[in-house]
Structure 1
Amino acid sequence: MLYYVLMLSAAAVVLLASDVRSESGRWAAFFLLSAATGGVARLWLQSPLPHVWFETAQMINQTVTPYGVLVFSLVYAGGATAALTKRRRLKGWLLLPPAAMLGYALLRGDLEPNYPLMLIWAAPYYLTACVLLIASYLRETDRRMRRGRLITVVITVPTLLAVVAFIHVAKAIWPDFDFFGYISAFFVYSFAIALLCVFVYGVLGVKVRVESDSLAGAMKAAGMGTSLLNHTIKNEVGKIAISVENLRGAPEGSGTDEQLAVIERAAAHLMEMAGRIHSRTRDFAWNPARCDPASLMREAMAPLRERFARQGVTVVEAYDETEPLFADPVHLREAIGNVLANAADAMEAGGALETQIRRDRRDIVLSVRDNGAGMPSELLDRVWEPFYSTKQGKGNYGLGLSYVHQVLRKCGGRAEIDSKPGAGTVVRLRIPRSRKMKEGAGP
């Protein structure tokens, strides 16, 4: 019994420690802790403590856990993009049945759960949670996110269905049925699958990486900070070099002001980035503000227009009217610039580039599509990894898309990529709408 409590409590602590700012992680930890009270109740039943302690823990377990599970599923299925006001209101309404049941139990002075009554509201809570989790997996289009959602379904849905069958249905029919052994077996199953996946794929944002040499790990972290700064310097110096080359070949008074403005912006951006990126052992500085996505896209495009023209790349821009984003404009502009630079690298012999900004029900989507060589599917899962690059050469540190991934996580959104050999590549930056984010908020 003690192992059961420790297992669920440890899982909750790990989720909170990995990213306390993740709302889905917080709610997952909440329902795991409330589920652990079932084991606490059994321990108290076998102890010399007053019987009311057992009844209280059991009532909390049976009423709070279904609420926590359902709210977790709502948050997880909706991601960081659901309307916060509506979500808060829904959480309040969903709290009414468990609160009413607790109140009724206190009024009648009997804390023994009324299982036929719980079958009416708690079982639908669990079943709805299962439907939401499965639907979130089926609806997901991003390969990496889809795999994560499938893992969550495999871990949680069988156990939730077992809770409905062995607790709510069985106890409503056979009041003396002892469900705890069956439920414990399913929780052990969930814990074992989660423990396996946390080392291989990651679960709810938690992934364990075994580092054989702590010094080597520290050196790699420090090296990444330096490489990330070098990557930024390379990009900005390249923009400055292109503008200087354009100035040398331009007649006096013909567009020199625009080229000088590019140099000025690149130099200012370089200084700001150098001041903000302390090292990869720490998180980079994040200073969110309201910013216009179309303006950021145009600013990121400006220093690359000459390069696209010289390479014979046609550029089509389509920017819908959207509400402002709440993000760090320096880092988001740099992330967009990295995606555009990758598109330029993919079309050195010419091609077509399409940049688009649109909004859907949840996100503002910034997309960059090129018709370059494209990539095979087996490489797509690795493109976000630090130091991984499909390009060869001294200037390629393999950090551009890794940085993009980190920036989008800071925005509370995500980056997606689709690519096929010979068909080009499209990168989508999905950023939540109407989100009042704190620094570094994540899904």
Structure 2
Amino acid sequence: MIILTALLWLMSLILFLTNPENEKTRWGSYIGFCGGFGGLSVLLSYILDHSSKWVLLIHYLSSSIGHYGTAYAILIFGLVFSDVLSPQKKFLWKLILFIPVIIMQFFFTDYPRYETQHVILSLWVVPYVFVSAGLMVYAAYSERNKTARKQKIITCLVVVPALAFAVFTNIILEAFGVFGVWMFNPWVIAAAFLLFVYFIVKYGFLGVQIKFEKQRRDLTMKAVTSGTALLNHSIKNEVAKIDLLASQLKESEPDDEAIDLILKSANHLFELSSRIQKKLDIMELKETEFQLSDLIKSSIDLLQPQISEVHIIKKYEVDARVYGDFVHLQETGLNIMKNAMEAMGQDKTLKIRIYETRRNINIEFSDNGKGIEKDKLTKILDPFFSTKKKVGNFGLGLTYCYNVMTKHKGDITVKSQLGQGTTITLSLPNNRVRNTTPNQELKDNLAGECYG
């Protein structure tokens, strides 16, 4: 039992201290934390006959946390891990699902001597554990992103067998009067711990990882101590546009439309600069509801007049009203389209598609540019990496996009082949979608719309 408690608390400590801001990691650590108290209660039970009131109290609390808290943490972890609940409903369900814990503690737990009510306990603990395991397996099965899917499969391999064995030996068998099989739990926990150590070093586990591409990128971003370079990147883009428009005005009669574009660009730059915090990895989101089609239109408008020579094809299979940060997502779209413009030759064609999958709403940008070499594709989102050989390119445009999508719990994927162009897809989770409208009229109006 000492080994079981130590291993559970060690896993819990590693997860929590390494990645406390991640909700999945936190709830994973809570499982180990509460489970460790179950082992502690067994140790204390050996000395209860000669114990003080303080030992009785600690045993009582440890047993309650171990039996009730672990089951609750397991189910909430499954719900968080699978992302089946929207942020608005998540808090309510956490309260509702805590009700059995309160009932067990106040109506079926005697003080100071804790006696486990196995039959009553099994009525809610068994469903909690198996629902959580089912949600975890479903999340891994339905995940489309290959990297995220591997991570979820790894988590299932470590967690699900250990949970199934624990609930079978600790709850189900003892509810039927079969006692003592739980003594094998330390061996199962030890095996799960070895898997945990292997995966955390080799691939990563619940966002905690040592040698893993995404973690490497995140750590590099955190090593950038100031957001000055990123701010300069945005300033460079906007100032270049203002300079172009001002030059056009100087050489011609004043144009109200050009003046409006200058003012719009200047306002956008002011808003963006006021939103970037001192550090690159700290980004404040100001979230509102908006249409994805409006987001794309606004990004295109901000690229005028440079984008006037690009043939833009819009294919909106759906339109969606989403909840997110309009300014940062607008800047993300602007960065992607600007990169596409710079990569394309004389015949510039950019296809923009909005479509829905089972778990995400997606915006896809496809250009007919020169493409990206295969060996550079995995580094394209890294800070300071750039395929452009121009002075003043900081290599932070797509890193910014990656950071924005990460803050929205979304994803960004890049696919490219030399000579065949590049496709970048932004994916927002469905829990950010307020409503989706497959608007045929919108599709008919926009398919084939072009600028220039």
Which residue is equivalent to 1:430?
Answer: 428
1:239-258 matched pairs, under 5 angstroms: 239-244=241-246, 246-247=248-249, 252=253, 256-258=255-257
Which residue is equivalent to 1:168?
Answer: 171
Q: 1:323 offset after TM fit, Å?
A: 3.1
Call closer, same or farther: CA 1:83–1:360 in 2, change over 3 Å: farther
2:314 is matched by which residue type in structure 1? V
Deviates more, 1:32-41 or 1:225-234: 225-234
1:33-52 matched pairs, under 5 angstroms: 33-47=33-47, 48-49=51-52, 50=55
Q: Check conservation: 2:381, 2:399, Cα contact below 8 A.
A: yes
Q: 1:69 offset after TM fit, Å?
A: 0.7
Which residue is equivalent to 1:128?
Answer: 131
Alignment size in residue pairs: 422
Call closer, same or farther: CA 1:172–1:410 in 2, change over 3 Å: same
C-alpha offsets along residues 330-354 of structure 1, whole Å, 9 cap, x if unaligned?
3222222112122223323434322
Give secondary structure in 2 for the equivalent of 1:366. strand
Which residue is equivalent to 1:299?
Answer: 298
Q: Check conservation: 2:119, 2:175, Cα contact below 8 A.
A: yes
1:61 aligns with 2:66: yes
Which residue is equivalent to 2:196?
Answer: 194
Deviates more, 1:114-123 or 1:27-36: 114-123
1:63 is matched by which residue type in structure 2? Y
Q: Check conservation: 1:417, 1:428, Cα contact below 8 A.
A: no
C-alpha offsets along residues 172-218 of structure 1, whole Å, 9 cap, x if unaligned?
456431524x32233333334334444554432334589xxxxxx89
Q: In 2, Cα distance between the equivalents of 1:6 and 1:241?
A: 64
Call closer, same or farther: CA 1:111–1:426 in 2, change over 3 Å: same
Q: In 1, Cα distance between the equivalents of 2:73 and 2:299?
A: 43
1:383-422 matched pairs, under 5 angstroms: 383-420=380-417, 422=420
Structure 2 unaligned runs (5+)?
A: 213-219, 435-452
Which residue is equivalent to 2:266?
Answer: 267
> TM-score, with normalisation over the residues of structure 1?
0.79
Q: 1:35 offset after TM fit, Å?
A: 1.0
Q: In 1, Cα distance between the equivalents of 2:315 and 2:46?
A: 70
Q: 1:72 offset after TM fit, Å?
A: 0.9
Q: 1:403 offset after TM fit, Å?
A: 1.0
1:257 is matched by which residue type in structure 2? D
Q: Check conservation: 1:418, 1:426, Cα contact below 8 A.
A: yes
Q: Check conservation: 2:221, 2:281, Cα contact below 8 A.
A: no
Q: Check conservation: 2:290, 2:321, Cα contact below 8 A.
A: no
Q: 1:71 aligns with which of 62, 70, 76?
A: 76
Q: In 2, Cα distance between the equivalents of 1:220 and 1:67?
A: 37
Which residue is equivalent to 1:158?
Answer: 161
Structure 1 unaligned runs (5+)?
A: 211-216, 437-443
Which residue is equivalent to 1:179?
Answer: 182
Q: Check conservation: 2:227, 2:280, Cα contact below 8 A.
A: yes
Q: 1:304 offset after TM fit, Å?
A: 2.8
Q: 1:62 offset after TM fit, Å?
A: 2.1
Call closer, same or farther: CA 1:109–1:369 in 2, change over 3 Å: same
C-alpha offsets along residues 91-129 of structure 1, whole Å, 9 cap, x if unaligned?
455445444444453379973323355445423322222
Which residue is equivalent to 1:214?
Answer: none
Q: In 2, Cα distance between the equivalents of 1:159 and 1:353?
A: 50
Which residue is equivalent to 2:438?
Answer: none
Q: Check conservation: 2:361, 2:429, Cα contact below 8 A.
A: yes
Deviates more, 1:352-361 or 1:160-169: 352-361
Give secondary structure in 2 for the equivalent of 1:106. coil
Q: 1:74 offset after TM fit, Å?
A: 1.3
Call closer, same or farther: CA 1:276–1:103 in 2, change over 3 Å: closer
Q: In 1, Cα distance between the equivalents of 2:336 and 2:121?
A: 52
Which residue is equivalent to 1:32?
Answer: 32
> TM-score, with normalisation over the residues of structure 2?
0.77
Q: 2:151 aligns with which of 120, 124, 148?
A: 148
Call closer, same or farther: CA 1:193–1:239 in 2, change over 3 Å: farther
Q: 2:379 aligns with which of 367, 371, 382?
A: 382
Give secondary structure in 1 for the equivalent of 2:351. strand
Give secondary structure in 2 for the equivalent of 1:166. helix
Q: Check conservation: 1:416, 1:428, Cα contact below 8 A.
A: yes
Q: Check conservation: 1:335, 1:404, Cα contact below 8 A.
A: yes
Q: 1:278 offset after TM fit, Å?
A: 4.7
Call closer, same or farther: CA 1:39–1:394 in 2, change over 3 Å: farther
Which residue is equivalent to 1:316?
Answer: 314
Q: 1:140 offset after TM fit, Å?
A: 0.9
> What is the RMSD computed on CA atoms of the aligned residues?
3.8
Q: Check conservation: 1:364, 1:433, Cα contact below 8 A.
A: no
1:410 is matched by which residue type in structure 2? K
Call closer, same or farther: CA 1:220–1:73 in 2, change over 3 Å: closer
1:330 aligns with 2:327: yes
Q: In 2, Cα distance between the equivalents of 1:220 and 1:42?
A: 45
Which residue is equivalent to 1:237?
Answer: 239
Q: In 2, Cα distance between the equivalents of 1:37 and 1:396?
A: 54
Call closer, same or farther: CA 1:5–1:389 in 2, change over 3 Å: farther
